[in-house]
Amino acid sequence: MTREMLRVALEAVGKGRVVPYLGPGVAALGGAIASPAALCAEIEAQVRVPKRAHGNLWSAAQYVETKKFRATVEKMVIEAFSAPTGRNPIHDWIAAVRPPMVVDAWYDPGLVKALRAGSSDWGMVQGVSRNGEWSEIWHRSYAADGTPCPEGVDPAWPMLLYKPHGLALPGHSFLVSDSDYVEVLTEIDIQSPIPDEVRNRRTGRGFLFLGCRFDDQLLRTYARQIAKRSGGGHVAVLEGELTRMERLFFEEIGIERIDLPLAAVVEELKDMGMPAA
Average pLDDT estimate for 166-175: 95
Instruction: Give the number of domains in the chain.
Output: 1
Average pLDDT estimate for 8-35: 96
- Provide the H-helix boundaries in the chain: 2-14, 24-28, 36-44, 57-68, 70-80, 89-97, 110-116, 178-187, 196-202, 217-226, 244-253, 262-271
122 within a domain of the structure (yes/no): yes
Residue 190 CB partners (closer than 8 Å, separation 6+): none
Q: Would you say residue 277 has pLDDT above 60?
A: no
Closest CA to 109 of 207, 2, 33, 21: 33
* Domain residue limits at 58: 2-271
Model confidence over 57-95: pLDDT tens digits? 999 999 999 999 899 999 999 999 998 889 999 999 999
Q: Would you say residue 146 has pLDDT above 90?
A: yes
> How high is the pLDDT of residue 56?
96
Give the per-residue SS3 of 61-117. Answer: HHHHHHHHCHHHHHHHHHHHCCCCCCCCHHHHHHHHHCCCEEEECCCCCHHHHHHHC
d(CA 1, CA 219) in angstroms, rounded, equals 29
185 within a domain of the structure (yes/no): yes
> How high is the pLDDT of residue 1?
66
- Burial class of residue 143 (count of CB atoms within 10 Å of its CB; 0-12, 13-18, 19+): middle
**R_g of the chain computed on alpha carbons:** 18
d(CA 214, CA 7) in angstroms, rounded, equals 23
> How high is the pLDDT of residue 135?
67
- Average pLDDT for the chain: 94
Average pLDDT estimate for 231-250: 95
d(CA 206, CA 21) in angstroms, rounded, equals 10
Residue 273 CB partners (closer than 8 Å, separation 6+): none
277 within a domain of the structure (yes/no): no
173 within a domain of the structure (yes/no): yes
Strand partners for 258: 237
Q: Would you say residue 159 has pLDDT above 60?
A: yes
Model confidence over 181-224: pLDDT tens digits? 998 999 998 999 999 999 999 999 999 999 999 999 999 999 99
pTM of the shown model: 0.96
> How high is the pLDDT of residue 61?
97
276 within a domain of the structure (yes/no): no
- Report which residue type is found at 182: V
177 within a domain of the structure (yes/no): yes
> How high is the pLDDT of residue 132?
65
CB 167 within 8 A of CB 107: yes
Q: β-strands 139-143, 234-237: how paired?
A: unpaired
Q: How confident is the model at residue 274 (pLDDT cuts 50, 70, 90)?
A: confident
Model confidence over 245-271: pLDDT tens digits? 999 999 999 999 999 999 999 999 999
Q: How confident is the model at residue 51 (pLDDT cuts 50, 70, 90)?
A: very high
